[in-house]
Amino acid sequence: MSAPPTSRQRILDRVRLATHALADPGYNSETAYAALPCTFIVRGQLTADARIHLMIERLREYGAEVVECSPEDVAASIAAQLAASGKHTFAAPPGLAAEWLAGGFNWKVDDGLRIEEIEAVEGVVTAAFCGVADSGTIALHHSLTEGRRVLTLLPDWHLCILRASQVVETLPEYFERCQVPPNLVTWISGPSATADIEMTRIKGVHGPRFLHVILVRDPV
């Protein structure tokens, strides 16, 4: 059921009357949009190394744990992180490379896991779409390697694999990488947090309390 069509029409009529959008036949919304000022910084200035360094620094400022590894050592690095976590049951999105699912752990691959099953795992391992160094932000577009939204939400511990070639310096550079606007995005900047009580920053409210990142130093 939707609201009576009259409300829609009344609101749009009032808005049109208020903005005189129809008054000037020469006016075009798209042309006006193209003329908007755009003098802020789009392109970053850092070298590739400095960019990765900044990304790591910003992630750590949020309280995320970061380790680096070479492209050959990803599986080994994941195994080491899992072992160090002291946890045993992990969820993984369906598209995650099979060699990343380290042996010796209990894996729940998300081919339609029920909510209770995801709630029951101790951690989750996913890939990412992009990292933004300037704000230490990781963008998940929820592809088959990044998982459904709920998969990186309920488990208390999230290990995210980010490749150096995915890291940009500025937020506008991230948007340049989005050729087609994505349907689903979660931008993550550190673990869940609140400052609602006396402005004291507390790590971990409802989302994962622990965010770990493996930065894979692939050729940039």
Partner 1 sequence: MSQTAAAHPQLDPLLALPFPQAALPVLRNPQLRKNVAHAIDVIQAKRGKLVEEKTDWQQLRQAASAIRAHALDNLAYYLEQFETRCSAAGGTVHWAGDAAEARQIVLNLLREENATEVIKIKTMTSAEIQLNPSLEAAGISVFETDLAELILQLGNDEPSHIVVPALHVNRSQVREIFARRMGLENLSDDPEALTAAARTYLRQKFLTVPTAIGGANFLIAETGSVAVVESEGNGRMCLTLPRTLITLAGIEKVLPRFQNLEVMLQVLARSATGERMNPYTSLWTGVTPGDGPQRFHVVLLDNQRSSILSRPIERQTLKCIRCAACMNACPVYRQTGGHAYGSVYPGPIGAILTPQLMRMQHSQSLPYASSLCGACYEVCPVKINIPEVLIDLRAQVTDQERGRFNRFLDPMYLGMKIANFLFASAWRFRAAQRLGRIGLWFFTAGDGWIHSLPGIGAKWTQTRDLRGLPSQTFRNWWAARTPVGVELKRQAK
Torsions phi, psi for 211 (to 5 deg): -115, 120
The DSSP string of 51-102 is: HHHHHHHHHHHTT-EEEEE-GGGHHHHHHHHHHHHT--EEEE-TTS-GGGS-
CB of 99 to partner 1, least distance (A): 26
CB of 140 to partner 1, least distance (A): 10
CB of 90 to partner 1, least distance (A): 19
Distance, in Å, from the CA atom of 171 to the CA atom of 149, rounded to the nearest integer, reads 22
Distance, in Å, from the CA atom of 128 to the CA atom of 138, rounded to the nearest integer, reads 7
Residue nearer to partner 1 on the CB measure, 15 or 84: 15
Residue nearer to partner 1 on the CB measure, 19 or 86: 19
CB of 36 to partner 1, least distance (A): 5
- In one letter, which amino acid is 57? E
Distance, in Å, from the CA atom of 28 to the CA atom of 85, rounded to the nearest integer, reads 57
Residue nearer to partner 1 on the CB measure, 88 or 177: 177
**Contact indicator for 123, 85 with CB cutoff of 8 Å:** yes
**Contact indicator for 217, 71 with CB cutoff of 8 Å:** yes
Residue nearer to partner 1 on the CB measure, 70 or 194: 194
CB of 26 to partner 1, least distance (A): 14
Residue nearer to partner 1 on the CB measure, 145 or 192: 192
Residue nearer to partner 1 on the CB measure, 72 or 116: 116
CB of 108 to partner 1, least distance (A): 16
**Contact indicator for 159, 212 with CB cutoff of 8 Å:** yes
CA dihedral (68, 74, 78, 84) in degrees, to 10, reads -50
